[in-house]
A and B are shown apart, each in its own frame.
Chain A
Amino acid sequence: MNIQSAFADALLAPEAVCPTGLLAWNGSDPGRRFAVYRNNVMVSLIDALADSYPVTQELVGEEFFAAMARLFVQAQPPRSPVLALYGEGFADFIEAFPPAVGLPYLADVARLEMRRVQAWHAADAEPLTEQELARLLADASLPLARFGLQPSLGVLRSRHAVVSLWAAHQADDVAAALAQIAVDQAEAALVLRVGLEVDITRIGEGAAAFVGGLQQGLAFGAAAGQALAVEPEFDLAATLGMLIRGGGLCSASIPGDMNS
């Protein structure tokens, strides 16, 4: 049915065009009526992006955000009717968007916000119990253990102060909070859903390497070694404590251990 192709193309076209074959009862120009559909499509998808990227929107203002989001929607419309994770390519788009070049941290803030959305909707999993953890931590083979992590858990490393920027936008006085930030300070984030809320925590380079290593399936000892290599002051106990408190560890296997 060609009419649907023409309709769909005109909905996403940058300029207002009206497909042929449309009628209005009073013989008026159907372009004005067709514009309702164009507006519905664009506004709803820009709103969907604004819902997922509220801090990105605050950083550039509503008008700039809407213009940027409109171009993204035209270039990369959703491929699925499930919109919860629509816009996973938005950060890459921002990175290559010339008008945003003056905000080099913007793309990483967007990446952090998408991690947050992903964590929000990620699968539920039971964390290891205190007894299971106590047994594992006392096991001489702990360095060989491989941990299964909470599906909501994500790590993001940036050359910019993305966690501080994000946190400042949660503050009551955003301007005052932003004034404290050196945006060129590299930061790493741990994103984890705890209960029904998503926590975003600033972590060190070593902690990011450690958690990233566990996520890639490295054994506990190897992940800790990787962390110490990037940050000699890496605090394994503190990082492990943070993961355990957040329920981030869900399973563990130790080679040759029949009880694991």
Chain B
Amino acid sequence: MNTAHAPVLTGIARSLPAAGGIGLKPEHFREILDTQPELGFFEVHAENYMVAGGPFHHYLTRIRERYALSIHGVGLSIGGASPLDEEHLDRLAALLDRYQPESFSEHLAWSSHGGAFLNDLLPLPYHAATLDRVCAHIDRVQERLQRRMLLENPASYVEFAASTMAETEFIAEVVRRTGCGLLLDVNNVYVACVNHHRDPRAYIGALPLPAVGQIHLAGFASDVDAAGAPLLIDSHGAPVAQAVWDLYEFALEGLGPTPTLIERDNDIPALPVLLAEAYQAQRIMRKRVAATDEVCA
């Protein structure tokens, strides 16, 4: 697998390399430029770069010149009952125009209500009305940004009495209607399936896998619910758990090599620690390719 730096950017349509990537953190800006580690891509949270100028843009500009880039939104509130925030869409359009990322993704969740931004990825019930609204929002996003977006499956802690569809059924229908792609967050699959007592492999098998354009891997924290059953929390504050690596390997059987991000937003470790996790994802991808080649030979 070619894990060399992204080729010189030409402005034509590109995609992320099927390699490992990590979230770009300000703590690592200088070290990345100084050491230029081999890496498939970096990912940033869109909202962190919606500022006028200063060090964030200084470093992202220089890092983007050397690496492929994924821009990941956390504030669009696609699952929200309110109309999309057009000002926020304008800011996103300007950011994507400036950095020309290979990928743009957002969440199946809501985060704004009544003018307040709640800074968390909140769950929604799955039924005909929410399906129509989510599809309308994604249509609008793709029209405004003039590109296909990837939608990320959520980690959640509660379910709704009002739901009439399974999450996978809802996601499959969104993909079918809007033509958006999927960001398969394998940690979210694991967390949600433990929290709601479902089979994570069946969950992955029920998704429209050809739509997957990127994978996220992250660590979780463990708690228990009121009955003492395990309740996993999508903390992004720990290394990827073995169960999630195993589920990742299972997902790759259906997907083939796929751009894979190591997400870490809390308790940020030293850069080499994150790079090692990205390289581990690459080793698993290579192992799967080799296994497939043997079967075909």
Please give the residue numbers on chain A whose beta carbons come within 8 Å of chain B beta carbons, in ascending order.
1, 3-5, 7-8, 11-12, 21-34, 36-37, 40-41, 44-45, 48, 77-85, 119-124, 151-152, 193, 196
Contact with A83, one of B91, B119, B225 (Cβ below 8 angstroms): B119
B158 to chain A: which residues have CB within 8 Å?
22-24, 30, 33-34, 37
CB neighbours of B195 from chain A (8 A): 33
What is the minimal beta-carbon distance from A240 to any residue of chain B, in angstroms?
A: 24
Count of chain B residues with a beta carbon within 8 Å of a chain A beta carbon: 52
B227 contact set on A, CB distance < 8 A: 24, 26-29
* 14 further interface pairs, Cβ-Cβ under 8 Å (given A1-B81, A44-B119, A78-B119): A1-B130, A4-B122, A5-B113, A5-B114, A11-B118, A11-B120, A24-B226, A28-B225, A31-B226, A37-B158, A44-B120, A83-B119, A120-B55, A196-B58
CB pair A84–B231 under 8 Å, yes or no, is no
By a CB distance below 8 angstroms, the chain A residues around B88 are 80-81
Whether the pair A123, B75 counts as a contact (CB closer than 8 A) is no
In the complex, what residues of B have CB within 8 A of residue A27's CB? 227
Q: Which of B's residues lie within 8 Å of A, judged by CB?
A: 47-48, 50-58, 74-77, 80-81, 85, 88, 91, 110-120, 122, 124-125, 129-130, 157-162, 195-197, 223, 225-227, 229, 231, 233
Indicate whether A78 sits within 8 Å of B117 (C-beta atoms), given known contacts A23-B159, A33-B158, A36-B233: yes
A41 to B115, CA, bound (A): 15
Q: Beyond A21-B162, A77-B116, is A121–B125 a contact (Cβ under 8 Å)?
A: no
Q: How many A-B residue pairs have CB under 8 A?
A: 150
Q: Identify A33's interface contact among B48, B122, B157, CB under 8 A.
A: B157
Cα-based distance from A48 to B80 in the complex (angstroms): 23
**B52 contacts which chain A residues (CB < 8 A)?**
121-124, 151
Please report the C-alpha to C-alpha distance between residue A4 and residue B111 in the assembled complex, in whole angstroms. Answer: 10
Question: Chain A contacts of B75 at CB under 8 A?
Answer: 81-82
Asked if A84 meets B51 with Cβ closer than 8 Å, knowing A23-B161, A26-B227, A78-B116, the reply is yes
Cα of A40 to Cα of B112 in the assembled complex, Å: 14
**A34 and B56 form a contact (CB under 8 A):** no
Chain A positions within 8 Å of B58 at CB level: 124, 196
Return chain A residues, CB-CB under 8 Å to B233. Answer: 36
Q: Which of A37, A85, A123, A124 has the most CB of B within 10 A?
A: A37
Which residue of chain A has the shortest Cβ distance to B50 in the bound complex? A82
Q: Give A79 to B162 CA distance when docked, in angstroms.
A: 29
B130 CB contacts on chain A under 8 angstroms: 1
Taking A21-B160, A81-B47 as contacts, is the C-beta distance between A4 and B113 under 8 angstroms?
A: yes
Contact indicator B116/A40 (Cβ below 8 Å): no
Q: Are A45 and B116 in contact (CB under 8 A)?
A: no
A41 contact from B57, B118, B231, Cβ within 8 A: B118
* Nearest chain A CB to B135 CB, angstrom units: 15
Give B219 Cβ to nearest chain A Cβ, in Å: 15
* Contact between B54 and A196, CB atoms less than 8 A apart: yes
The 3 A-B pairs at the shortest CB distance, nearest first, are namely A81-B75, A28-B227, A121-B51
> Which residues does chain A contribute within 8 Å of B231, judged by CB atoms?
32-33, 36
A106 to B237 alpha-carbon distance, docked (Å): 32
A121 in contact with B118 (CB, 8 Å):
no
Complex formed: what's the CA distance from A77 to B117 in Å?
A: 7
**B130 nearest CB neighbor, chain A only:** A1
Question: Which residues of the partner chain A approach B119 to less than 8 Å between Cβ atoms?
Answer: 40-41, 44-45, 48, 78, 81, 83
B76's nearest neighbour on chain A, judged by CB, is: A81
Q: How far is the CA of A1 from the CA of B109 in the complex (A)?
A: 14
Within 8 Å CB of B225, what residues of A? 24, 26, 28-29, 32-33
Q: State A40–B223 Cα separation when bound (angstroms).
A: 14
